[in-house]
Chain A
């Protein structure tokens, strides 16, 4: 049934339009409040507008400093490994991939030992932005859903956090590929 026909149907059955029903609801709520000696004046819009006033804020400077040091530190460690592999005559691309795999392995290990969540809590974006964040996003639901079994638990839910990263990465890559293909055709 189309939405408009459905609405007509409901109107015919109840004898009231949606607006009338909403008005009636408001009226009965007012009648109910009128019976009370006093009722709370609560302006939802104003409440939400001023919610932030006086609210505790994240310690921005501390968070940024931690993110900078830990994130930078991870990248520095990666760069050192990368240069080590290059000096061992590994080709550029392989060296890069090996570094990523090592970071992912270390993240998986620390996550499994229950240490990574404390590091992430301290570092914030510092562990989120490097590939460690992606790895933790895959490993943590895997460990968490073990109780639901290896297939429907771990297997199905391993991507609950990291799935969007893969989807949007691959999809935007495909869109770029299509555009690039058309570009090559035309020029």
Chain B
């Protein structure tokens, strides 16, 4: 059996965009969002549709930055936090792009990028999009309590980001602008049973999956944390980050110097009551599109590991006393046309 790492030859992310809600705009990445809506409704009637509107907007911005339209995209891998990916399909309706709905809870961002890179291995696919978003209000309604319910949140609880990110990928030769970033390799995550059944401690539920993916990717690629400018996790939050360090250090690996978590980038702790941090598919997608990819374009980053972390759960499964299974797919992004997995082109 070959190694679990899948190298990708000559694949670039050539355009991207991020959209967010009011709290995301107040946060540190606020100024870098392409669009935000104070009301959180994005012109839609319900929170569920707002999630889709937001995803559609993110895709619209990513397309217009590259001067493209929906018909220029061969297919899109897209998903959100709602049952049957209804937000995504509604949001994508106006574009008419062939769509594959994906669901990896909060890991959807990396999952979509990974699948897009694989799809570009086929000559039939010219440009591929990865799209994801999450909406706080829709997620609360689906997974937790009514919005107006007055209760306290646990200190380990995370806040589902109202945000969406869109990414357009193609092969080098089809890139409309100079190649700034390469998606050089990826690894599919393994579902790991965390044993955690507390819905307000998602960080703890996802940390084992993140630890497994990081350790496996580093050892399989014979690289060390020092070989990366950053090792970025999706939404472990404070608590998940603490547990990730503990799990990895028990296995003789320290990533404290390189590690960043998107869940800790989205909000400003000094003015926002963030508890353990942000979560949701939109969290890592917005952080990647508004923070990390622009840093590659500016030449500030050369190589990062990016893994969105998903906590696969539903209210029913938790009420039935089952634990939350975590999953963490990984991609490696490198500056320009560098590719340490296939050699530079």
Mark A residues whose CB is within 8 Å of B.
Answer: 32, 35-42, 44-45, 47-48, 51, 54-58, 63, 111-112, 114, 116-121, 123-124, 127-128, 133, 136-137, 139-141, 143-145, 147, 160-161
A36–B5 Cα distance when bound, in Å, is 11
Contact partner of A57 (CB less than 8 A), chosen from B146, B155, B201, B242, is B155
When the two chains form the complex, which single residue of B1, B152, B193, B216 contacts A40, counting CB atoms closer than 8 Å? B216
B residues bordering A, Cβ < 8 Å?
1, 4, 45-48, 141, 145-156, 192-196, 201, 204, 208, 211-212, 215-216, 219-220, 222, 238-239, 242-243, 247, 250-251, 276
B152 contact from A124, A139, A145, Cβ within 8 A: A124
Q: Known: A47-B195, A51-B204, A58-B154. Contact between A40 and B149, CB under 8 A?
A: no
A117 touches B219 (CB 8 A): no
- Distance (whole angstroms) from the CB of B191 to the closest CB of chain A: 11
- How far in angstroms is the closest Cβ of chain B from A129? 12
Contact B194 A47 (CB under 8 A): yes
B239 close to A55 (CB less than 8 A):
yes
A121 close to B152 (CB less than 8 A): yes
A9 to chain B, nearest CB (A): 25
Asked whether A41 and B45 contact (CB < 8 A) given A32-B1, A121-B150, A140-B145, the answer is: no
**Which residue in chain A gives the minimum CB-CB distance to B2?**
A35
A136 to B149, CA, bound (A): 6
Once A32-B1, A120-B151 are accepted as A-B contacts, the answer to whether A161 and B145 lie under 8 Å apart by CB is: yes
Contacts A40-B251, A44-B194 hold; do A143 and B150 have CB atoms under 8 A apart?
no
Sample 19 A-B pairs with CB under 8 A, ordered by A number. Answer: A32-B1, A38-B219, A38-B251, A40-B211, A40-B212, A47-B208, A51-B243, A54-B242, A55-B156, A55-B239, A56-B239, A58-B155, A116-B148, A124-B152, A133-B150, A140-B150, A144-B147, A147-B45, A147-B47
The complex places the Cα of A165 from the Cα of B100 at a distance, in Å, of: 43
B147 touches A42 (CB 8 A): no
Q: Given that A42-B247, A48-B196 are contacting pairs, would A120 and B215 also be in contact in the complex, using a CB cutoff of 8 Å?
A: no
Residue of A nearest to B214 (CB): A40
What is the CA–CA distance of A47 and B201 in the complex, to the nearest angstrom? 13
Do the beta carbons of B219 and A36 come within 8 Å of each other? Answer: yes
Told that A117-B149, A118-B150 touch, could you supply 20 new A-B pairs with CB distance under 8 A?
Answer: A36-B216, A40-B212, A40-B216, A40-B247, A42-B247, A54-B242, A55-B155, A55-B242, A56-B155, A56-B238, A56-B276, A58-B154, A111-B148, A112-B148, A114-B148, A117-B150, A120-B151, A121-B153, A147-B48, A160-B146
Q: Contacts of A40 on B, CB cut-off 8 Å? A: 208, 211-212, 215-216, 247, 251
- Report if A117-B147 is in contact (Cβ < 8 Å); known contacts: A55-B156, A56-B239: yes
Q: Are A121 and B151 in contact (CB under 8 A)?
A: yes
Bound: A61/B247 CA distance, A: 31
Given the contacts A37-B219, A40-B211, A40-B251, A139 and B148 also touching, CB distance less than 8 Å? yes
B148 and A144 within 8 A (CB): yes
In contact, B146 and A141 (Cβ under 8 angstroms): yes
Docked pose: A56 CA to B277 CA in angstroms: 13
Kindly list chain B residues whose C-beta atoms are within 8 Å of the C-beta of A39: 212, 215-216
Contacts of A120 in B (CB 8 A): 149-152
Chain A nearest CB from B63 CB (Å) reads 30
Which residues of B lie under 8 Å from residue A117 when comparing CB positions? 147-151
* A40, B189: Cα distance in complex, Å: 13
Cα–Cα distance between A141 and B45 once the two chains are bound (Å):
18
User: Does B150 contact A116, Cβ atoms closer than 8 Å?
Assistant: yes
By the criterion CB–CB under 8 Å, are B1 and A143 in contact?
no
Residue among B146, B156, B193, B201 with most chain A CB within 10 A:
B146
Considering the chains assembled together, what is the distance between the CA atoms of A100 and B220 in angstroms?
Answer: 65
A144 touches B146 (CB 8 A): yes
Give Cα A127 to B150, complex, Å. 8
How far apart are the CA atoms of A98 and B56 in the complex, in Å?
Answer: 51
Partner of A143, one of B148, B195, B208, B250: B148
User: In the complex, what residues of A have CB within 8 A of residue B211's CB?
Assistant: 40, 42
Q: Nearest Cβ distance between residue B31 and chain A, in whole angstroms? A: 27
**B193-A44 in contact (CB<8A):** yes
**Residues of B contacting A51 with CB < 8 Å?**
196, 201, 204, 243
Whole-angstrom CA separation of A140 from B147 in the bound complex: 7
A57's nearest neighbour on chain B, judged by CB, is B155
Q: Measured between alpha carbons, how far is A88 from B276 in the docked complex, in Å?
A: 52
Inter-subunit contact A48/B148 (CB<8 Å): no
With contacts A45-B195, A47-B208, A121-B152 taken as known, whether A143 is within 8 angstroms of B239 at the C-beta atoms is no
Residues of chain A contacted by B204 (CB below 8 angstroms)? 51
Return chain A residues, CB-CB under 8 Å to B48. 147
Give bound CA distance, A59 to B334, whole Å: 43
Whole-angstrom CA separation of A111 from B148 in the bound complex: 6
Most buried by A among B151, B208, B222: B151
